[in-house]
Amino acid sequence: MKAQRQTYQSFEEQAKIIKDFCDTIQQVIDRYSKQVDEMYPKVRFTTIRKHYGTDEMKSSFKRARLPLQKVLDKLEQLRTKEKKAMDAIQNGSVEFENLKLDSTRNAKQDKLEDIQEDIVIAEEIRRKKEAIYVEKATAIFKQCQELEKERLDQIEETLIAFIQVVHPSPYSTALVTIYEKLLLNIKTQQNSMKDLNYWAKTYGVHTLTSTDGDENQ
């Protein structure tokens, strides 16, 4: 009866340990779910999720590149004009800007030289703007790396936490201790022959067997 009672009572202990174990796992899951929600919030009016730093990083790159892009666009326009001017010089039938068909070759040549001078100036500006852009873009890239490191570190920390609770030595040890204690109690406290003799004596019945194997009268 004592062994049965101890076995039954151990179920409550085991259930509490298992519940604590499950609760701890759920805490890790809940914590990571919250982190994911914070890192990847939903895009407004959609079910799509996006990293919280995506828009800002994209905008930062665009802002940093804008001055350079303006110079690049101007250079493209100047090179287009240069080509038209060269075509106008090579064949007199081509009209170019304010120079009509009867314009002299020298006028067209002067116009071409002006455009080429503008290209040289624009190229110098481009080199300066490009250097500034590279510096700013590098700084923005480092910010992107920090955001990515945050994401990777978060995954690593969560995996470690999850492994630690999924393979919980404290819980395992506690369960093993309960099992070992129950087995020990049953093996040391339960003695079938002793129980038989106890009840035989209780009811005034003599038994021919004993715990040590000797015959009793």
DSSP codes, 40-70: SPBPTTSS-B--TTHHHHHHHHHHHHHHHHH
Q: What is the mean pLDDT of residues 111-138?
A: 95
Q: How confident is the model at residue 7 (pLDDT cuts 50, 70, 90)?
A: confident
Compute the mean pLDDT over every residue in the chain, rounded to the nearest whole number. 83
Q: How confident is the model at residue 98 (pLDDT cuts 50, 70, 90)?
A: low
Rounded CA-CA distance 3/195 in Å is 13
Is pLDDT of 96 > 80? no
Beta bridge partners of 43: none
Rounded CA-CA distance 42/36 in Å is 11
**CA gyration radius, the chain:** 44
Q: pLDDT tens, 151-190?
A: 999 999 999 998 888 876 777 788 788 888 878 877 777 7
